[in-house]
Amino acid sequence: MLLNKIMKTRLATVEMDDKLRVVKDIFDSMGFHHLLVVGDDKTLRGVVSDRDLLRALSPYIGTAAETTRDIASMNKRVHQIMSRQPITLKADGTVDAAVALLLDHRISCVPIVDDQFRPVGIVSWRDILRASAAK
């Protein structure tokens, strides 16, 4: 099966200098688990997962124990926590190729890019399981 049959094309992107507050707002409101980081030319530069965000933020945010220092963690920039040099495939790649990448590199998503390295979709292990269950 080809990735263009199962990839999600509804993408959320952020830029390298966006604050983690923006990332958190997108995760909280959209239900995404991965955001694609793009440069000024809209080419893919990295990936930020919800787990990357959780590791970067203070666990005291939103609690009675929250301090100014905890709030300051929301002002970090995307480039400080993103995974760089993302492993990608093209839309005409196969699900088997995506599975191999997910397992070999211990990643949870594969961005799908066009010939200019601009993101056009994303495939996560959830998408692959959903497609397998639908067979």
Q: How confident is the model at residue 76 (pLDDT cuts 50, 70, 90)?
A: very high
Beta pairing class for 44-49 and 83-84: antiparallel
Residue range 51-64: mean pLDDT, rounded: 85
Q: Which two tokens stand for residue 123?
A: 């495939």
Q: For the chain, give the number of residues.
A: 135
The sign of the dihedral angle between the CA atoms of 113, 106, 32, 22 is: negative
Kindly indicate the confidence band of residue 59, based on its pLDDT and cuts at 50, 70 and 90. confident
The three-state secondary structure class of 117 is coil
CATH at 120:
3.10.580.10
Q: Where in the sequence is the domain holding 125, given as residue range(s)?
A: 3-134
**Is the CB of residue 8 less than 8 Å from the CB of residue 123?**
yes
Residue 107 has pLDDT above 90, yes or no: yes
Tokens coding 54: 């959780």
**Residue 45 pLDDT grade (very low, low, confident, very high; cuts 50, 70, 90):** very high
Total domain count, the chain: 1
What predicted TM-score, i.e. pTM, was given to this entire model? 0.90
